[in-house]
Amino acid sequence: MQRLMCKGKIHRATVTEADLDYVGSITIDALLMKHAGILPYEMVQITSLRNATRWKTYALPAPEGSGKIGLNGPPAHLFQPGDLVIILSLGLMNEEEVERLKPQVVFVDETNRITAVEEHDLVVLRQELARAEKARADESGH
């Protein structure tokens, strides 16, 4: 079975431009793409924190260090400069790939400069959830 998984994320990026007349895509600072594991022409999902709109399109690199997050073509109607967005890189994976999955989560400031990069590990997450569940059970006497 294949599962659609999050393999990378840019968290709370600020849209810097929206160009209705451009052919399409989202243009993302190449440094952010690199750290989130997003390749040129890879399909990504963009979610607006302003209006919960979701859009899927392909990613193109902007100059490294530019801080650019540009929505091009039709999504320019839905996303405006200044909007905060979450950009997800998704991938279909088999069970073995899921077990090895370590999504890269890129945190940025208001100018889309990287403030932190975290590698999330599914195995560690499962262990933390099991510990939390055990602690809740111990507290409730079950």
pTM, whole model, 2 decimals?
0.86
pLDDT in tens, 85-136: 999 999 999 999 998 999 999 999 999 999 999 998 877 777 888 888 888 8
Residue 15 CA to residue 72 CA, distance in Å, equals: 11
> Looking at residue 29, what is its pLDDT?
99
Domains, the chain, with CATH or none: 3-140 (2.40.40.20)
> Please, what's the b/e burial string for 32-41 (b: 16 or more CB within 10 A of its CB; e: otherwise)?
bbebbbbeee
Catalytic machinery residues? 25, 58
Q: Which residues contact 61 (CB under 8 A, 6 or more apart)?
A: 27, 28, 29, 30, 33, 40
Structure tokens at 69: 């997050």
Q: How far apart are CA 109 and CA 9, in angstroms?
A: 14
Residues in CB range of 62: below 8 A, 6 or more apart: 27, 28, 29, 30, 68, 70
Do 28 and 69 form a contact (C-beta atoms < 8 A)?
yes
C-alpha dihedral sign at 8, 12, 15, 20 = positive
Residue 6 structure tokens: 């999050």
Q: For 36-85, what is each residue's pLDDT tens digit?
A: 999 999 999 999 999 999 999 999 999 999 999 999 999 999 999 999 99
pLDDT, position 142: 64
DSSP character for 10?
E
- Residue 74 class from Cβ within 10 Å (0-12 exposed, 13-18 middle, 19+ buried)? exposed
Report the C-alpha gap between 118 and 39 in whole angstroms.
Answer: 18
